[in-house]
Amino acid sequence: MSQATYIQDMMADPALEISGPQEVASFYANRNVLLTGGAGFLGRLLAEKILRSCPDVKSLLILLRAKKGRSPKERLKLLFEDSMFDRLRKEQPGYSRKVVPIDGDISQVGLGLSEEHRELLRTTHIVIHAAATVRFDESLRVAVNVNVRGTNELLSLAREMRNLKAFVHVSTAYSNCVQDLVEEKFYPPPIDGDKLFNLLDILDDASLEHLVPMLLSKWPNTYAFTKVIAEDSIRRNCHNLPVCVVRPSIVIATAKEPVPGWINNVYGATGIVLGVAVGLLHTLHCDPELVADMIPADYVVNTIIVAAWDVAKTRCINIENAVNVMVPEVEDVPIYNSVSSCQKPITWGQFMKYTSELGLETPSLATVWIRFLKLNKYNWLHKVYMVFCHLLPAIIVDSLARLTGRKPVLWDAYKKIHKFSTVIKYFTLRQWRFNNNSVLRLWDKLSSADQNIFEFNVEGLNWEDYSYSHVRGIRVYLAKDPLDTIPAAAAKYTRIKIAHYTLLTAICGIFLWLIRSLLRVVGLW
């Protein structure tokens, strides 16, 4: 079963009628929407959902830069050819007429816009700023230019938008990870954004990277560090603008839309599940008793879309009159913590139990060794497992590869896995308390029809059911392994288990023989 076939099978029935007022879709009708980060994970889902569930939207302007020899127009065409847009093509066949590529770069002064495109963007009604570099190990200069300077540039452009109704800034629930309790409010940044810009202007890359540990202070990485500074930029520069902030926690595969289990990246929890699924990841420095705050991507997307409706509704005196805009005070800027732990908490141990058990039902041809994962709270124990379950097998397998004239790959694979494990351990060894009252109030404002169309209340989320589609989605979209190979993959996994236990038996036999020989030498046998 190919990706396209899987999507067709898993799609909800578009014929189902939803009755009642649809205020959110009505708000987007005849409006121009500017989307940044449209080529990213959330950006693709946002584009798909807006075009499908707000069919009367006037235009969707997607800011893209040229990349790898492809123009923004070519990139956008390629992006919409993805099978995840199959449902959109089926339900809204004329969607492409509304999609407009905008040649720009979020990290450049003036967003790298031509005057023609800048004038076009001045007609924007709704801005959804989802562009960001989400790499934890990104260089500070790149992270600042994209996450902070880009936000400032977009805010400056927003002031030129004569008909602006809403500006949604997508942040992260971990922007304030130095706080034990993260409420829906602004927190002080570690450094003022303008001072940080001055540092970037006067220091070369080598000098700047030398200062990174001191600048980050308690923040674990440049991503969280620059995100909190970007939030502070919103706080300081949002006056006269209908702005809100959406903070998702760990974003994982979709729960329902446009298809259950859709994912196109290996960040965070998804990378862990994939590593286990292919039989490479066997130990993780993680406390299994701690809550892992994860949120399905479609819940985040729906929160963002509805947040724009809400901020326009509550911040504009007359939504049809562009000049009559309320001036939000800083404390009035809505912040929505899009999290799951307040209503449906799940621990790392529970999450891995569900995905491991369900994953065994759908083994993959990409699996290279037996599946097992030990979540180790203590670093010394994690290191022991790492040596015996990762490094020694890598040495043995790569040595055999060299002897047979093949390219050794396992050691390099484990170098990447261990780097990934080190980067995420800050989040797998801690837990946070979040407040999501604004999200709950937002949900209560929706009509029943809109609640059906834009679902984001995690109260109805069943983690075991979700894990079923999650592991299947990882198999289909990341391992690129269609579901019709399951019988062959099951047979392969049986052979892997036989080899694994045969090898263990041989190793134990050799170990016992060595002990017996040693005891004989000393006269104790």
Q: What is the pTM assigned to this prediction?
A: 0.92
Residue-by-residue DSSP string for 167-201: EEEE--TTTTTT-SEE-SS----SS-HHHHHHHHH
- Compute the distance between CA of residue 468 and CA of residue 357 in angstroms, rounded to an integer: 9
DSSP string, 86-118: HHHHHH-TTGGGGEEEEE--TTSGGGG--HHHH
- pLDDT at position 522 is 74
User: How far is it, in rounded angstroms, from Cα 433 to Cα 183?
Assistant: 8
CATH topology of domain 3-261+293-343+432-460: Rossmann fold (3.40.50)
Residue 250, beta-bridge partner list = 294
In angstroms, rounded to a whole number, what is the distance separating the alpha carbons of residues 313 and 107?
31
Query: Which DSSP helix (H) or strand (E) runs through 411?
Result: helix 410-428
Strands in 360-487 per DSSP E: 374-376, 433-434
Q: Specify whether the CB–CB gap between 359 and 273 falls below 8 A.
A: yes
pLDDT means per 10 residues in the chain (525 residues)?
Answer: 57 57 95 96 98 97 93 93 94 94 94 94 97 93 96 96 96 97 96 93 92 93 96 92 97 96 93 94 97 98 98 66 48 91 97 93 91 95 95 91 91 93 95 97 96 96 95 93 91 90 87 84 72
Question: How do the domains of the chain map onto residue ranges?
Answer: 3-261+293-343+432-460
Closest CA to 473 of 168, 251, 262: 262
CA distances in angstroms from 305 to 42, 263, 374, 427, 460, listed in the order given: 12, 20, 39, 28, 19
* Distance (Å, whole) CA 76 – CA 67: 11
